[in-house]
Structure 1
């Protein structure tokens, strides 16, 4: 029986092949072979005739189109892995077996995580944190992929989403012990609704301005907690703008190898930029103004 990873790759390739229309419109291999075969009554010639050169070029184009799904699957997998590792966590095997996994006030399993999002932004190492931070990173890639040709953009976006939901289901099973496939699918449907909401919320924020974008980050990533440090929201918004700018500067043909490199710049670095005005005031011996919310 195929392993989970092999089944996942097979499913992705099948979906990619099913959505590829170029191969369906190409001339069949049999027709190309017949057209490229020299007639037997011709003199044998070791040089390539124009007809044979046309056959070779056509065959090369067919194989390039056939290889394209594999190329997209690999590229989107690399991008997805860069997104998913940002808030990675693990559930203790000891706690899982003993049934002593700590819970949040909402009843979520709390795991073990030491990423920047857990330590610098004070987010709990839970499935919810992981999924929201991963979707935040995926959204940035989604926004850049919209610049591709419509068919290519849909193909890339679908593959990226498939990687995420395959991985999410695996985490539900392996990390949280949700063995019921029906229950996992129910949670995946809820997660898909969240994903669609994330796209709409961040699109609105990117379009309407930083306050709206900060509100979207606060609702999704920080679960609308009232005790969230506003510096965190400002830093994440600044980081999102920077990533979108860097992704926009990558040529289409280089997305395969360069897109995931954008995430190497950590969002916590933007805290320095956020704190800069306050430090300048402190250097001048001026106390930063205190903003109070009107009653």
Structure 2
């Protein structure tokens, strides 16, 4: 019985193998149509033999080009798998958390009001934005980062964008199921599948909500972040909302500036700029606004009657 990690890699490689088989069939068909079999000619005829030699050389060159193009197309899916895995790991690290083994064995895991396990997390999202180290926080923050990458992938060709997006989704849901099993002890596969279906519905809602916010403006985007990441808490710090929105806009801009051929190794570098760094910009604007509001109005000049 293979482990979950091996099964996950097997599913990914099987999917890519099917894609490569289709590419191989298309390349072979294209080569056959472009370079059909040459008729047998009389070797005693010098002129005909020269034509055959030229045609043979041209055919060999074309075959070499087709083979090189085929291997380039065959390697592309594997590059996508590797690139999306690195991007996903960066997204998943941002709000990572753990549950101590001693608490799990003793059954002393703290719970939220909704009954969710509370672990230990020391990331920026836990300390600076006061989010609990739970599975829902991890999933929402991870999906927030994934959405930013998804928005950039829409600029690719249709097939390439679908391949990138599907691989990114696969990495996320494989990892989510593994966390349910190993971190939270949900051994029932049927129960995990039910939770994964709910998570997929949340993911589709996240895409729609953030798309609407990006198009309609910062207030709508802040409301989407408030509902998803901060769970519509009434005591949320508006500075945190403004900071996350400012950071999202900046990341979208930086991702848009990356050329398509550089996404393989530069996309995850965008997230090195932490969201909390935008607090300085938010506080500066707030201070300027407060200074403008408390500024005394100019004296009214008396007009002689």
TM-score w.r.t. structure 2 length?
0.85
Q: Closer, same or farther in 2 for the Cα pair 1:89/1:267, shift >3 Å?
A: same
SS in 2 for 1:261: helix
d(CA) in 2 for partners of 1:235 and 1:166?
A: 30
1:127 aligns to 2:128 (yes or no): no
Counterpart among 216, 219, 240 of residue 211 in structure 1? 219
Contact 1:26–1:62 (Cα < 8 Å) also in 2: yes
Q: Look up the match of 2:90.
A: 82
Q: 1:286, CA displacement in angstroms?
A: 7.2
Q: 1:98, CA displacement in angstroms?
A: 1.0
Structure whose CA Rg is larger: 2
Counterpart among 230, 233, 247 of residue 239 in structure 1? 247
Q: Look up the match of 2:81.
A: 73
Contact 2:31–2:66 (Cα < 8 Å) also in 1: no
d(CA) in 1 for partners of 2:122 and 2:293?
A: 36
d(CA) in 2 for partners of 1:220 and 1:19?
A: 35
Gaps of 5+ in 2: 44-48, 296-305
- Over residues 242-270 of structure 1, what are the superposed CA-to-partner deviations in whole Å (9 max), with x where a residue is unaligned? 00000000000100010000010000001
Q: Closer, same or farther in 2 for the Cα pair 1:175/1:122, shift >3 Å?
A: same
Q: 1:277, CA displacement in angstroms?
A: 2.7
1:202 aligns to 2:210 (yes or no): yes
Q: Closer, same or farther in 2 for the Cα pair 1:121/1:51, shift >3 Å?
A: same
Structure-to-structure mapping, 1:172-183, within 5 angstroms: 172-183=180-191
1:5 aligns to 2:5 (yes or no): yes
Aligned residues: 281
Q: 1:65, CA displacement in angstroms?
A: 1.5
Contact 1:13–1:69 (Cα < 8 Å) also in 2: no
Q: 1:241, CA displacement in angstroms?
A: 0.2
Contact 1:35–1:55 (Cα < 8 Å) also in 2: no
Q: Look up the match of 1:291.
A: none
Structure-to-structure mapping, 1:1-295, within 5 angstroms: 1-18=1-18, 22-27=23-28, 49-280=57-288, 287=294
Q: Look up the match of 1:292.
A: none
Q: 1:62, CA displacement in angstroms?
A: 1.5
Q: 1:8, CA displacement in angstroms?
A: 1.3
d(CA) in 2 for partners of 1:115 and 1:146?
A: 30
Q: 1:17, CA displacement in angstroms?
A: 4.0
Q: 1:23, CA displacement in angstroms?
A: 3.9
Q: 1:280, CA displacement in angstroms?
A: 4.2
Contact 2:117–2:134 (Cα < 8 Å) also in 1: yes
Q: 1:50, CA displacement in angstroms?
A: 2.8
